[in-house]
Amino acid sequence: MRDYQSQCRVLTEEDIDALEIGSGILGTGGGGNPYIGKLRARQAIREGHELKILPIEALEDDARIVALGGIGAPLVSFERLKEGREGVRCLRALEERLGFKADAIGCEEIGGQNSMEPLITAAFAGLPVVDGDGMGRAFPEMQMTTYAIYGHNSTPSVMCDPHGNAVCFEHAITEKWHETMARACVIAQGGASVLASAPMSGAFFKAHAIPHSYTQAIGLGQAVLDARQAHEDPIKAICEREGGKHVFSGKINDLKRHFERGFNVGVASIEGLDDCRGSVGEITIQNEFLIFRRDGEMQACVPDLVVVLDLDSGLPITTEVLRYGQRVAVLALPCHELLRTQQALDVIGPAAFGFPELVYRPLAETA
């Protein structure tokens, strides 16, 4: 196990406050509620643990990185608290099964509480988290990481629940099969668990992870905090920082949301306000905000980020806390280039979510 201590950034509670906001924005409504994650991360710091971020460039090619994150429905993880050390149990069981020691922890998705889970696990294990992730946002299924898209075999893997159960997935013939089996297992475990995947090499991680996503999320959250303190518009600050667009403002006037196949799924309808008065917005949900339509015409869709913010505060709203009557702003932010290849779009484009009629047009090319 390598000693990366001197190259790491040790996060403060102020960093965690910013990460809560930034990961909530990048999470596009999913990844688990970041406020719950912030409380857990803050408690780990106050107990004397260090939450450390390792620059992706510092990884040696033969380093061994274990990526992990929560799996299940955001609403369950919001209502049922974790025991706290599920990730450590996953890591130790995987190390024992494969006979190795991890050099660092990787993040499956930077969105929401899943930005915090690797930090907490790594702090308890005395390891750093690499400054990168497998999505640059949040997606609802495990095969939707850049790790899997670009060739990583994520089994053997280990899933642990709050009750102390540990399940090893020895081999899956495809990444989609791994997702299918894990989804069935997480439903049996109560709807929210933690899963650690087979280790990756440092060379693979540097080539195929979304780089600097922790730095991005913390910087994005800090930009929102700075704008609010200066009595400036945080929504404008987000769009300027990320090259995004404020595509709609309105009030939620209808919300259909339910738990299905291990996911939160539904549709939110938004009555236009201000410059959008007279128009109706609609957001399709599967754990995350997938598609935004205005008056029936698609304005933004996966893999670009559909973000819902409180219209007055500019703070992110996750899918499980959407409510009738909320005043919201809808933003469209461009995704990382690794998510825009045809290889990636086959897995995370609109057709992968059951919308083959929709044609993805990269926001980065139309802005």
Please state, rounded to an integer, the average pLDDT across all residues of the chain.
94
List pLDDT tens digits, range 126-139.
999 999 999 999 99
User: In terms of domains, do 209 and 246 share one?
Assistant: no
Where in the sequence is the domain holding 307, given as residue range(s)?
Answer: 241-360
For residues 208 and 250, membership in a common domain is answered with no
* 355 lies in some domain: yes
The predicted pLDDT at position 262 comes to 62
Percentage of residues in the chain having pLDDT higher than 70: 96
Number of residues in the chain: 367
Are 21 and 114 members of one domain?
yes
Q: What pLDDT, on a 0 to 100 scale, did the predictor assign at position 191? A: 82
> Does 138 share its domain with 38?
yes
Q: What confidence score (pLDDT) does residue 158 get?
A: 98
Largest CA distance in the chain: 62
Tens-digit pLDDT profile for residues 198-245: 999 999 999 999 999 999 999 999 999 999 999 999 999 999 999 999
Structural domain contains residue 325: yes
The whole-number pLDDT of residue 77 equals 64
Number of structural domains in the chain: 2
Nearest to 147 by CA among 89, 69, 37: 69
pTM: 0.94
If one counts every other C-beta atom within 10 angstroms of the C-beta of residue 229, the result is: 9
362 Cβ neighbours under 8 A, 6+ residues apart: 304, 334, 335, 340
Are 150 and 55 found together in one domain?
Answer: yes
- Report the pLDDT value the prediction gives residue 3, as an integer from 0 to 100: 82
Mean pLDDT of 71-97: 84
Q: Are residues 196 and 247 in the same domain?
A: no
Pair (136, 262) in one structural domain: no
89 and 33 fall within a common domain: yes
User: What are the tens digits of pLDDT across the range 286-315?
Assistant: 888 999 999 999 999 999 999 999 999 999
For the cut 80, the answer to whether the pLDDT of residue 75 exceeds it is no
Residues 40 and 138 in one domain: yes
The span from the CA of 229 to the CA of 157, in Å, is 44
Distance CA 64, CA 210 (A): 17
Task: Tell me whether residue 218 is in a domain.
Answer: no
Tell me the two tokens of residue 242. Answer: 């990320």
pLDDT tens, residue by residue, 161-203: 999 999 999 999 999 999 999 999 999 998 889 999 999 999 9
Dihedral sign of CA atoms 290, 292, 293, 297 in order: negative
Among 213, 233, 263, which residue terminates a domain? Answer: 213
Four-residue CA torsion sign, 25, 80, 94, 169: negative
